[in-house]
Structure 1
Amino acid sequence: MASLFQKEIKELKGVGVKRSQLFAKLGAPTVGALLRFYPRDYEDWSQPVLLAQAPLNQVCTVKATVISPLSEQRIRKGMTLYKLRATDGQHDVLITFFNNPYLKNLLLEEKEYLFRGKVSGTLLRREMSSPDFLPADRVLPLRPIYRQTAGLSSRIIANAVNSALALLPNPLRDPLPEPMRQSYRLCGLGFALHNIHFPKDRKALEHAKRRLIFEELLILQLGLLRMKSRNRQKNTLRLTQDASRDFFTSLPFSPTGAQKRAVEECISDMQGDSPMNRLLQGDVGSGKTAVAAALCHSAIASGMQAAFMAPTEILAQQHFRTMQQLLEPFGIRVALLTGSVTAANRRKILEALKDGQIHLLVGTHALLSDTVSFRRLGLVVTDEQHRFGVAQRTALTQKGDHPHILVMSATPIPRTLALMIYGDLELSVLNELPPGRQKTETYVIDTAKRSRAFGFIRKKLDAGRQCYIICPLIEDSESDMASVTQYAKDLQEKWFLSHTVGVLHGRMRPAEKERTMAAFSAGQIDILVSTTVVEVGVDVPNAVVMLIENAERYGLSQLHQLRGRIGRGTEKSTCILVSDAQNEEALQRLRVMCETSDGFQIADEDLRLRGPGDFFGARQHGLPELKIADMSADFELLKLAQDAARELLSQDPSLELPEHRGLRAEVHQLFSALE
């Protein structure tokens, strides 16, 4: 199998140099990669219908015998029609093709074919236009449909896959050991590859899918668990000073029990035999930044430097200000490094950092630059972990000698799920809110009450407060929900003439987004009309109302994240969910939002109502890209794969045994982009 992964696809029969570039564009530059380029769907040709039963103007499959020679009719320059008649034994159908002179050799009189397309006409006169067709005796029941690009049709890809499958040796060496396949009832790799591309029936397809999904999730878990064990190397930066008590005493508020517990867990790690590698998971406003500051304080007191990376410039600035307030009283020097720092200031910062005069450097991706050099980097903190890939996290840690790592996430995830997707990290949870935080009241209204809600918002604005309004769409669509820009324009002209309305959406350039958020944060914008890009954002304590249009379109966890943008000051805050939904599940989600503000309770409820899908983006929190597995749909297999990975590594931690070498190669293949 390894040799196939290395064989260039241009060497495959029927591909060549020009087409190989198109295959590479699809992510299949080698024969082996093509075999792992799985169909996105399948056409079912196994249930042909009689012409009399064919639903009009819907795609279906008809089995019919050609009963007339192909006639050719040139209707204008560049347009030739080819027509023939076929019968299913009871009714006839007129079939028309356009500009295909090769049909004479492909559709022969008195031969039976399967035609797939839309049947039109009347009950007495049936017609089909440019259907797909195959000889009836050569049709697979399920035909693969592949992701395509210009110049590569699904049929061309299928032909190339067929050629690749023909190169597979028999028997094929299987990366999954035989005892594991038997234990988890998995088919062999050869059977799986043939039947994922060209299944002989539905049952064979399900067996193939189950095997390949399990294999991919096993490789993912093996990779994550091995990363975790690699992080358990000797702790060369052992913490010598636990300064957390002094830090907590200096705070203008009392830390929560959860904050104290999280700091204790982290300090214990940092004093242990291996470097800390921990995920700090806390609800919006649970005080994660104070925990990070406490750890920075102890690390710096022990003679180390710390780095704190945030995903956006405005968030980095916010963290910088907080860290200055909390740490500068201890004589700790904090600096900020972002893309907008001037060249002269940047030079000064980098020199002071290298000399060890700067103790804590806060910044964006700018921290990853080759020119950034620490004297003794001992602690790396990354905020909003799901916005950074594993590779970025690794790049920052390589600026020190195996520094301690703390990654923070404000997305509450049920513990079982967090252990699955953050398999390389230990877990700390902040499940208490600091005293003084106001609970945000949440209400559900229908669109008929929207004008009353706008009146309520106007009163808050007149009192000097600010408001978020969340819309689900960016561009105009056929639905009744106008685009964000148009919606904002209507708001300004019809409801809020004397107030400033700003717009924020995902299509804006990063610098433009930053400017808008900064203006809102500074109070220059009264109402911010936004898509979900504000889900992770800055503190604007003066924003006390959030109205979410079409609230039923969002998952519970996402609604909770959005709601977390308000309720950050001492003023009572209100979240208004606008929905005309009648669906019981949607209504249940909205009811949960009104009943609780506990992010972990909401996450558990979301998991129960919708499955794990709501917790994963397309790139699944910075993990390697999966080709067939879907963590949301394949959660049960994910659990089995994690059990199998643990058992396997307990027997063979380095995957050195001959029967595990195939798995080791696959782990390297999946994680190579991240190393």
Structure 2
Amino acid sequence: MAGRPESLFSLFGSLEALPGIGPKLAKTLGDAGVTKPRDLLFTLPHSLVDRRPVATVRDCPAGTTVTTEVEVLRHFRAARAGAPSRVLVQDQAVELTLVFFRSSEKWLEKQLPVGERRVVSGKLDLFDGKAQIVHPDYILPITDAPELPRFEPVYPLTGGLTQKVMAKALGSVVQTLPDLAEWIDPGMVKKEAWPTWRQALGAAHAPQTLADVAPDAAARARLAYDELLAHQLTLALARRQARRGKGRATRGDGHIAQQVLQALPYQPTGAQTRAISEIHADMVKPLKMNRLLQGDVGSGKTLVALMALIAAVESGGQGVMMAPTEILARQHLESLAPLCADAGLVIEVLTGRDKGAERARKLGALAAGEIHILLGTHAVFQKDVEFHDLRLVIIDEQHRFGVAQRMELGSKGQAVDILVMTATPIPRSLALAQYGDMDVSILDEKPPGRQPIKTALISGERLDEVVAHLKRAVEDGRQAYWVCPLVEESERSDLQSAEERFRSLRAIFGEGVCGLVHGQLSSAEKDAAMADFVAGRSRVLVATTVIEVGVNVPNASIMVIERAESFGLAQLHQLRGRVGRGSAASTCLLMYQPPLTETGERRLKILRDSEDGFRIAEEDLSIRGAGDMIGTAQSGLPKFRIADLERQSDLMAIAQSDARVLLEMDPDLTSPRGVAARALLWLMEQDRAIRLISVG
């Protein structure tokens, strides 16, 4: 494909070509992620200064910016070194003082000659009950007053930059903007009454009212949509690429699946049945499957995964399921092995711990096709792991693979189907941003028999009561998790450490009653502690969040989370989901350290009042914002400069369907709108997407 369109060259040039920006400011901007005019252009003002003139400042509140015409009455020199100079002026009704630090008398007399009139604009303060403006932003002769902007945009600044420098540099970029052809569907532009791209940037950088800096202002909404459309085009191209990869029709005959379903002690839910049939429908097509299975805690994803793996085996192939931790890989083995054994399926687990002869045996059996289903950590993708006929890869949770990693995995050369599972309910807008290249199946029902969990908030000051309650429960034969935020006591933090809590509980409950699991233990130590807890030999498992996902001990019916206010909502919801898996009534105690902030209290109350992971996720998004919620670093979530995922989720959904429709109608983006869309991808630096069109 041709390179970047010539019309965009100026936007990708040097910042130093802009007025007022030398090497030093260019470096400052670069440190803030602004390296070229295009980045500057997408740095929009976040608020406005109202500089409309008033006849008098008499009724203006202190702290506001005022603009008024004044007569200069007299100058007061600085009384001593370091003291300010003052200039007394008068508007139509009151006198006010202009205050200047470190300004030369000569300069002041030139700017503000006694007896002449000037327009001054700046922040109004009161000092000893008298009005004053310290260092006015503007002092203009009456003839120059029309040049003063009525509404002045306020930009996010970084060291050494001033609003004036930003405004000047941006003014020159906006004036020389190229006219680009329209890439948005004309019907959408008309329906929303959106300006063109060029008009939108002009308006966004020259807001006339406060409404113009709101996300739903027409110019801003249009620019946000441009960003979302470029992102969704990239995902749609990635999705097309994944599907283009010659898949293979994987068609099971159902004979093993039937056996397994009949052996289950319960009927699958409607949501499970629907997800299984969506996955099977993908697998029988000669295209690669690229599907996300999203289900709340305890919604039964493991059964759906097993049914997909069985379809791969029934058609003569193999399946692999990758878990984020060894604990989970082994737990999948425990829950699936009995079902597989009844149906004559060979299932094995492979982790980094397998060495020597044992590893060689497993690899040999795998290459010979004697292992039907392989479970493991990312170790299953090491170079020497060869399958006889791999048909399906399931990635479970936690990797939270971004699009780039999923594309990498899909490009391993095998015509494998890919199913990604997540137990973290994600609000629709984030799911589209993160997984828009995938088709989605949602499990929104709980399997029969899952117990509701009673959740209570309790102050850390009542620790003794909690321990006493726990002691009685343990004596009655119940089991409990006790989750702590940190592993060891540290100088930096007063968050309770797992090691410390384990020692104090062991002193109360006696030897052998408490177990300990955290990330710094060796795999063997973690497995031994888990095995003791699963078998009921230990009754209280003190842990960090390593038990967040997937751990399944039906007899455990109490979850204590210490310093609950320091965890994310989604994480708390995951942890709570470790109980309520058996027949006993279950409790989750959220212990917090008072006083809670207003937000902290709101978050914990949402959790207390709801067990619906999707509702909790939406609330979490509105409180914390997208980046914090998923932990942007590892989330694969794009960083948008203008679009706001919390407030513009509807635009994200429209952008997804628009991108898919455009590519269906114009797969190579060669129509006039397609060519415009290519320019958008260059503009938004979606280089990966551009490569995908070229290989298209």
Common fold: TM-score over 0.5:
yes
- Counterpart of 2:120 (choices 110, 113, 116) is 113
> Is the Cα–Cα contact under 8 Å of residues 560 and 599 in structure 1 kept in the other structure?
yes
Q: What RMSD over aligned residues (CA atoms) do the two structures have, in Å?
A: 5.1
Q: How many residues align?
A: 650
Equivalent residue, structure 1, for 2:315: 302
Shift of 1:569: 4.6
Q: 2:257 matched to 1:245?
A: yes
| Letter aligned with residue 51 of structure 2 | S
| Letter aligned with residue 108 of structure 1 | Q
Task: Single out whichever of 579-588 and 171-180 deviates more from structure 2.
Answer: 579-588
Shift of 1:581: 8.8
After superposition, the Cα gap between the structure-2 partners of 1:542 and 1:122, relative to the gap in structure 1 and judged at 3 Å, is farther
Equivalent residue, structure 1, for 2:406: 393
Q: 2:182 matched to 1:163?
A: no
> Is the Cα–Cα contact under 8 Å of residues 65 and 121 in structure 2 kept in the other structure?
no
- Counterpart of 1:666 (choices 676, 680, 683) is 680
- Counterpart of 1:27 (choices 26, 30, 33) is 33
**In 2, Cα distance between equivalents of 1:452 and 1:599:** 29
- Counterpart of 2:650 (choices 615, 636, 641) is 636
Q: 2:199 matched to 1:197?
A: no
After superposition, the Cα gap between the structure-2 partners of 1:559 and 1:175, relative to the gap in structure 1 and judged at 3 Å, is same
Q: Which runs of 5+ in 2 are unaligned?
A: 1-6
> Is the Cα–Cα contact under 8 Å of residues 4 and 30 in structure 1 kept in the other structure?
no
Q: Secondary structure at the match of 1:498?
A: helix
| Letter aligned with residue 248 of structure 2 | L
After superposition, the Cα gap between the structure-2 partners of 1:73 and 1:15, relative to the gap in structure 1 and judged at 3 Å, is farther
Task: Single out whichever of 351-360 and 188-197 deviates more from structure 2.
Answer: 351-360
Q: 2:650 matched to 1:627?
A: no
Q: 2:94 matched to 1:83?
A: no
Q: What does 1:432-511 align with in structure 2 at a 5 Å threshold?
A: 432-443=445-456, 452-461=465-474, 465-468=479-482, 485=495, 498=508
Equivalent residue, structure 1, for 2:50: 45
After superposition, the Cα gap between the structure-2 partners of 1:86 and 1:605, relative to the gap in structure 1 and judged at 3 Å, is same
- Counterpart of 1:256 (choices 265, 268, 272) is 268
Q: 2:153 matched to 1:143?
A: yes
**In 1, Cα distance between equivalents of 2:218 and 2:301:** 45
Query: Cα deviations across residues 91-139 of structure 1 (Å, max 9, x unaligned)?
Result: 32352436x78994899215433223x73532137574x6755756434
| Letter aligned with residue 250 of structure 2 | L
Q: 2:129 matched to 1:123?
A: yes
Shift of 1:574: 0.3
Equivalent residue, structure 1, for 2:235: 224
**In 1, Cα distance between equivalents of 2:61 and 2:499:** 45
After superposition, the Cα gap between the structure-2 partners of 1:665 and 1:632, relative to the gap in structure 1 and judged at 3 Å, is same
Q: 2:198 matched to 1:184?
A: no
Query: Cα deviations across residues 545-575 of structure 1 (Å, max 9, x unaligned)?
Result: 2345787999976654342132245543202
After superposition, the Cα gap between the structure-2 partners of 1:660 and 1:591, relative to the gap in structure 1 and judged at 3 Å, is closer
Q: Secondary structure at the match of 1:424?
A: coil
After superposition, the Cα gap between the structure-2 partners of 1:365 and 1:102, relative to the gap in structure 1 and judged at 3 Å, is farther
After superposition, the Cα gap between the structure-2 partners of 1:54 and 1:612, relative to the gap in structure 1 and judged at 3 Å, is closer
| Letter aligned with residue 290 of structure 2 | N
**In 2, Cα distance between equivalents of 1:324 and 1:389:** 31
**In 2, Cα distance between equivalents of 1:106 and 1:486:** 64
**In 1, Cα distance between equivalents of 2:305 and 2:247:** 21
Q: Secondary structure at the match of 2:299?
A: coil
**In 1, Cα distance between equivalents of 2:149 and 2:489:** 43
Q: 2:12 matched to 1:6?
A: yes
Q: Secondary structure at the match of 2:111?
A: coil
**In 1, Cα distance between equivalents of 2:482 and 2:381:** 33
Q: What does 1:258-657 align with in structure 2 at a 5 Å threshold?
A: 258=270, 259-319=272-332, 321-322=334-335, 326-327=339-340, 330=344, 332=346, 334-338=348-352, 360-365=373-378, 376-384=389-397, 387-412=400-425, 422-443=435-456, 452-461=465-474, 465-468=479-482, 485=495, 498=508, 521=530, 526=540, 528=542, 535-536=548-549, 538-539=551-552, 543-547=556-560, 560-569=573-582, 571-577=584-590, 590=605, 593-594=608-609, 597=611, 599=613, 602=615, 617=630, 619=632, 622-642=636-656, 644-645=658-659, 648-649=662-663, 651-657=665-671
| Letter aligned with residue 408 of structure 2 | A
**In 2, Cα distance between equivalents of 1:53 and 1:529:** 61
> Is the Cα–Cα contact under 8 Å of residues 281 and 429 in structure 1 kept in the other structure?
yes
**In 2, Cα distance between equivalents of 1:84 and 1:358:** 87
After superposition, the Cα gap between the structure-2 partners of 1:84 and 1:30, relative to the gap in structure 1 and judged at 3 Å, is same
Shift of 1:224: 3.3
Pair member with larger Rg:
2
Shift of 1:635: 2.6
Identity over the aligned pairs, expressed in percent? 31
> Is the Cα–Cα contact under 8 Å of residues 545 and 574 in structure 1 kept in the other structure?
yes
Instruction: Name the TM-score, length of structure 1 as normaliser.
Output: 0.77
Shift of 1:582: 12
After superposition, the Cα gap between the structure-2 partners of 1:640 and 1:4, relative to the gap in structure 1 and judged at 3 Å, is same
Query: Cα deviations across residues 298-344 of structure 1 (Å, max 9, x unaligned)?
Result: 31343434333333454344445545555467453534244x66699
| Letter aligned with residue 390 of structure 2 | L
After superposition, the Cα gap between the structure-2 partners of 1:576 and 1:511, relative to the gap in structure 1 and judged at 3 Å, is closer
Shift of 1:272: 2.1
Q: Secondary structure at the match of 2:177?
A: coil
Q: Secondary structure at the match of 1:307?
A: strand
After superposition, the Cα gap between the structure-2 partners of 1:341 and 1:88, relative to the gap in structure 1 and judged at 3 Å, is farther
**In 1, Cα distance between equivalents of 2:587 and 2:568:** 19
> Is the Cα–Cα contact under 8 Å of residues 292 and 420 in structure 2 kept in the other structure?
yes
> Is the Cα–Cα contact under 8 Å of residues 70 and 104 in structure 1 kept in the other structure?
no
| Letter aligned with residue 186 of structure 1 | W
Equivalent residue, structure 1, for 2:223: 212
Equivalent residue, structure 2, for 1:479: none
Task: Single out whichever of 204-213 and 301-310 deviates more from structure 2.
Answer: 301-310
Q: What does 1:55-94 align with in structure 2 at a 5 Å threshold?
A: 58=63, 60-61=65-66, 63=68, 75=81, 83-85=85-87, 87=89, 89=91, 90-94=94-98
After superposition, the Cα gap between the structure-2 partners of 1:122 and 1:51, relative to the gap in structure 1 and judged at 3 Å, is farther
After superposition, the Cα gap between the structure-2 partners of 1:20 and 1:253, relative to the gap in structure 1 and judged at 3 Å, is farther
After superposition, the Cα gap between the structure-2 partners of 1:655 and 1:372, relative to the gap in structure 1 and judged at 3 Å, is farther
After superposition, the Cα gap between the structure-2 partners of 1:85 and 1:581, relative to the gap in structure 1 and judged at 3 Å, is same
**In 1, Cα distance between equivalents of 2:349 and 2:602:** 47
Q: Secondary structure at the match of 2:319?
A: strand
> Is the Cα–Cα contact under 8 Å of residues 295 and 425 in structure 2 kept in the other structure?
yes
Equivalent residue, structure 1, for 2:3: none
> Is the Cα–Cα contact under 8 Å of residues 432 and 656 in structure 2 kept in the other structure?
no
Q: Which runs of 5+ in 1 are unaligned?
A: 477-481, 505-509
> Is the Cα–Cα contact under 8 Å of residues 90 and 96 in structure 2 kept in the other structure?
yes
Shift of 1:657: 0.8
